[in-house]
């Protein structure tokens, strides 16, 4: 039996971020054996500060290459991973090229503030976004809550839920280590990720713990601001900034941790959270996005109100205080992640979506 062909686009590794992590996980999964999978790079590949004309030429070449991929018969499925900003409309051009070639299109929405992005568009741009959503055969969202949000903004679009999936190596680590525990924050540094709240929580803490912040910058200059604030507030015994961590270095970092923390103000379904849970770490997260759907308060960790440094400090103190609780919650986190958010479960859901697509035009 001939395997269906799929062209999947998005920012490819070694790019960092949720979309790149999802693409890497799917590439390493059984999906690559069950469909004829081809990944297509849409992340920025030109050098920083390049002239506008070079960016335009690169984008035109990208669209030409995309057009050629859909000249084969039967026409492949186009699976387009996208997010807010100009990226959405550039990916919308790929959607339209795919449809002109007769391909069924899956538009896969990522991004913690995609609803805010839509709400901030001008009336013509919002109408264009709605129109594009209806051109897709299926619009994939990360959770039921996101399905409800986009249903209000994109009436007529066919919305389906597909949770992210992960598969991390089984690495032994001492979650219940009795001495000063190390918690990991994994994400791009910025206010949206709640880094400023971690500084406030560190100043309020009563138990001995340290948070290692690993990631790039979501806001220019925020990493240096974080380091300066740590120095200014004399919090060096509580917080450490590593910068971007990927690949084996990320696995080693999580393997050496006793917990995970992500106090974001807005989220989708963070891959970093699922990766930490899959490796058996108890977690402290804020009640935003899909995170309270993934983490049950008191079972896999702590769910705290968003933008509440006192509650965040109390949760980290509680986790630091009880090695036994960390062990119990870490085991529960791994079990829940593997049963509900394993990569092969995601693969089955992806294949189910593909099976419901209209046939591509021969």
Q: What is the pLDDT of residues 77-105, one digit of tens each?
A: 999 999 999 999 999 999 999 999 999 99
Residue 171 domain-assigned (yes or no): no
Q: How far apart are CA 188 and CA 16, in angstroms?
A: 9
CA dihedral sign of residues 74, 24, 26, 134 = negative
Two tokens, residue 217: 């910058």
Q: 239 is in which domain, residue-wise? A: 182-340
89 in the same domain as 22: yes
- Residue 69 pLDDT more than 80? yes
Residue 176 domain-assigned (yes or no): no
Residue 169 domain-assigned (yes or no): no
85 in the same domain as 17: yes
Range with the lowest mean pLDDT among 117-121, 151-155, 184-188, 244-248?
244-248
Three-state DSSP at 285 gives strand
Assign 159 a pLDDT band (cuts: 50, 70, 90).
very high
27 in the same domain as 66: yes
Q: What is the edge-to-edge ordering of all strands in the sheet holding 105-109?
A: 36-41, 5-10, 77-82, 105-109, 138-141, 159-161
What pLDDT shows up at residue 362?
42
Q: How far apart are CA 25 and CA 2, in angstroms?
A: 24
103 in the same domain as 67: yes
What pLDDT shows up at residue 49?
67
- Residue 161 pLDDT more than 80? yes
197 in the same domain as 130: no
- Residue 107 pLDDT more than 90? yes
Residue 75 domain-assigned (yes or no): yes
Listed in order, strand segments (DSSP E) in the chain are 5-10, 36-41, 77-82, 105-109, 138-141, 159-161, 182-186, 210-214, 239-243, 259-262, 283-286, 301-304
142 in the same domain as 223: no
Residue 172 domain-assigned (yes or no): no
What pLDDT shows up at residue 1?
58
219 in the same domain as 144: no
125 in the same domain as 114: yes
CATH of the domain at 288: 3.40.50.2000
Give the count of domains, the chain. Answer: 2
Q: How far apart are CA 265 and CA 287, in angstroms?
A: 8
What pLDDT shows up at residue 179?
84
Residue 170 domain-assigned (yes or no): no
Residue 173 domain-assigned (yes or no): no
- Binning the chain into helix, strand and coil, the percentages to the nearest 5 are 45, 15, 40
pLDDT digits (tens, 9 = 90+) for 17-68: 788 889 999 999 999 999 999 999 998 766 666 787 787 888 899 999 999 9
- Residue 183 pLDDT more than 50? yes
13 in the same domain as 158: yes
Percentage of the chain lying above the pLDDT 90 cut:
81
Percentage of the chain lying above the pLDDT 70 cut:
97
346 in the same domain as 329: no
| Residue at token pair 């699976």 | 79
Residue 177 domain-assigned (yes or no): no
Whole-model pTM?
0.86
Of 32, 13, 30, the residue nearest 22 (C-alpha) = 13
209 in the same domain as 117: no
| pLDDT: which is higher, 81 or 358 | 81
78 in the same domain as 123: yes
């Amino acid at each position: 039996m001939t395997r269906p062909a799929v062209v999947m686009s998005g920012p490819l590794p070694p790019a960092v971020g949720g979309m790149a992590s999802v693409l890497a996980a799917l590439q390493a999964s059984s999906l690559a054996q069950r469909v004829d999978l081809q990944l297509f790079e849409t992340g920025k590949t030109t050098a920083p500060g390049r002239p506008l004309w070079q960016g335009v030429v690169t984008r035109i070449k990208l669209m030409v290459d995309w057009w050629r991929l859909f000249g084969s018969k039967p026409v492949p499925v186009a699976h387009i991973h996208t997010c807010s900003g100009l990226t959405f409309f550039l990916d919308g051009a790929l959607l339209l090229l795919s449809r002109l070639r007769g391909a069924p299109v899956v538009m896969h929405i990522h991004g913690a503030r995609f609803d805010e992005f839509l709400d901030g568009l001008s009336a013509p741009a919002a109408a264009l976004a709605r129109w594009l959503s209806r051109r897709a055969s299926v619009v994939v969202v990360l959770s039921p809550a996101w399905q409800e949000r986009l249903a209000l903004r994109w009436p007529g679009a066919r919305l389906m839920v597909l949770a992210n999936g992960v598969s991390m190596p089984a690495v032994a680590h001492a979650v219940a280590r009795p001495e000063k525990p190390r918690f990991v924050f994994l994400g791009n540094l910025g206010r949206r990720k709640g880094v400023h709240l971690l500084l406030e929580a560190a100043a309020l803490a009563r138990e001995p713990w340290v948070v290692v912040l690993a990631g790039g910058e979501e806001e220019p200059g925020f990493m240096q601001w974080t380091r300066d604030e740590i120095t200014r507030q004399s919090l060096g015994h509580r917080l450490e900034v590593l910068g971007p961590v990927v690949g084996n270095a990320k696995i080693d970092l999580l393997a050496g941790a006793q917990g995970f923390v992500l106090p974001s103000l807005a989220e989708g379904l963070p891959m970093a959270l699922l990766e930490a849970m899959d490796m058996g770490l108890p977690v402290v997260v804020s009640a935003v996005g899909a995170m309270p759907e993934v983490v049950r308060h008191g079972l896999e960790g702590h769910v705290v109100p968003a933008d509440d440094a006192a509650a965040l400090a109390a949760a980290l103190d509680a986790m630091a205080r009880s090695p036994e609780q960390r062990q119990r919650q870490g085991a529960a986190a791994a079990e829940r992640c593997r049963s509900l958010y394993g990569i092969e479960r995601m693969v089955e859901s992806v294949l189910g979506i593909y099976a419901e697509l209209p046939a591509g035009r021969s």
